[in-house]
């Protein structure tokens, strides 16, 4: 994180501003190198494992549409929903470029804690990836968003949520931003509450421990199927991961296999920059 000018904007406006300024960088983020692709490729691995063979999927907080396009190419029907109009403009262009617009039924702007446009039990699966849930720094709104994600899923349908991991952020402060450890409203706030209120180069965010999101879902009518660390054992080792991919292709294949074998270990989940939780809406 690098310090920027603190403004009186609401957290929601700060999130919109951040992603508006990110522009196409957010579209490229998940594929710009082997390390970043771990988040995307691991997520797609678990989507293919748990998604039904066909159906309508809500991509809640889907930003520029990377997952919407990936799933549309597999034949699924998608509704893309995101807070940022700038991200949705990028998504529209990329969807047309990928020639999958026939499978993208709607592109809608809104916040994931208000899915009132959709009736109960509408979707065959619901996905909510990256920072969408994490960027709801207010706990009441986060809990409402979780209720909404579950509500609009059909009974028996999978719900996929990924969030930003707290322990990885704490470690990144030590490695990359050691001076911020002295800033109470940054390091100590993240350490003690998981909350970061903005002002230092990233949008307001709540960083999760695995047990936190797991407990939140278990209070509701869902069954937890699996959890996975999306960067897993590579987390924090971007340079080494990219070097392995570029210089040692055979070793990379073995590392990818190792990643898939270990990413569901509780330690790999807890230490990842992003981790995924897969659940299923219960019928009663």
pTM: 0.94
98 neighbors 70 (Cβ within 8 angstroms): no
For 247-264, write each residue's pLDDT tens digit: 999 999 999 999 999 999
Q: Which helix (H) or strand (E) segment is 222 a member of? A: strand 222-229
CA distance 133 to 156: 22
CATH tag, 11-281: 3.40.50.150
DSSP structure class, residue 113: T
For 213-252, write each residue's pLDDT tens digit: 999 999 998 999 999 999 999 999 999 999 999 999 999 9
For 69-103, write each residue's pLDDT tens digit: 999 999 999 999 999 999 999 999 999 999 999 99
CB half-sphere exposure, 33, CA atoms < 13 A = 13
For 49-62, write each residue's pLDDT tens digit: 999 999 999 999 99
Residues of the chain with pLDDT > 90: what percent?
90
Q: Is the pLDDT of residue 7 over 50?
A: no
pLDDT score for 201: 86
pLDDT score for 283: 82
CB half-sphere exposure, 248, CA atoms < 13 A = 10
CB half-sphere exposure, 247, CA atoms < 13 A = 6
Instruction: Locate 64 and state its tokens.
Output: 């520029």
CA distance 33 to 14: 27
CA distance 105 to 122: 13
Instruction: Locate 61 and state its tokens.
Output: 């907080």
């Amino acid at each position: 994180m690098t310090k920027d000018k603190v403004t009186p904007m609401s957290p929601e406006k700060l999130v919109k501003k951040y992603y508006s300024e990110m522009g196409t960088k957010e579209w490229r983020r998940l594929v710009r190198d082997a390390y970043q692709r771990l988040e995307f490729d691991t997520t797609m691995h678990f989507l293919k494992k748990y998604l039904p063979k066909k159906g309508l999927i809500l991509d809640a907080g889907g930003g520029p549409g990377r997952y919407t396009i990936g799933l549309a190419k597999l034949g699924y029907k998608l509704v893309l929903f995101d807070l940022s109009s700038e991200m949705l403009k990028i998504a529209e262009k990329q969807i047309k470029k990928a020639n999958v617009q026939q499978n993208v039924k709607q592109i809608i702007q809104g916040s994931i804690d208000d899915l009132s446009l959709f009736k109960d039990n509408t979707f065959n699966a619901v996905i909510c990836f990256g920072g969408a849930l994490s960027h709801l720094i207010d706990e009441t709104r986060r809990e409402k968003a979780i209720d909404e994600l579950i509500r609009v899923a059909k009974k028996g349908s999978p719900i996929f949520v990924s969030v930003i991991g707290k322990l990885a952020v704490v470690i990144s402060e030590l490695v990359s931003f050691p001076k911020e450890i002295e800033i109470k409203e940054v390091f100590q706030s993240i350490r003690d509450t998981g909350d970061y209120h903005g002002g230092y180069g990233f949008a307001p965010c709540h960083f999760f421990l695995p047990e936190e999101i797991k407990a939140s879902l278990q209070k509701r009518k869902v069954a937890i199927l699996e959890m996975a660390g999306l960067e897993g054992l590579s987390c924090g080792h971007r340079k080494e991961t990219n070097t392995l991919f570029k210089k040692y292709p055979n070793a990379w294949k073995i590392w990818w296999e190792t990643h898939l074998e270990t990413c569901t270990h509780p330690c790999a989940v807890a230490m990842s920059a992003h981790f995924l939780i897969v659940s299923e809406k219960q019928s009663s």
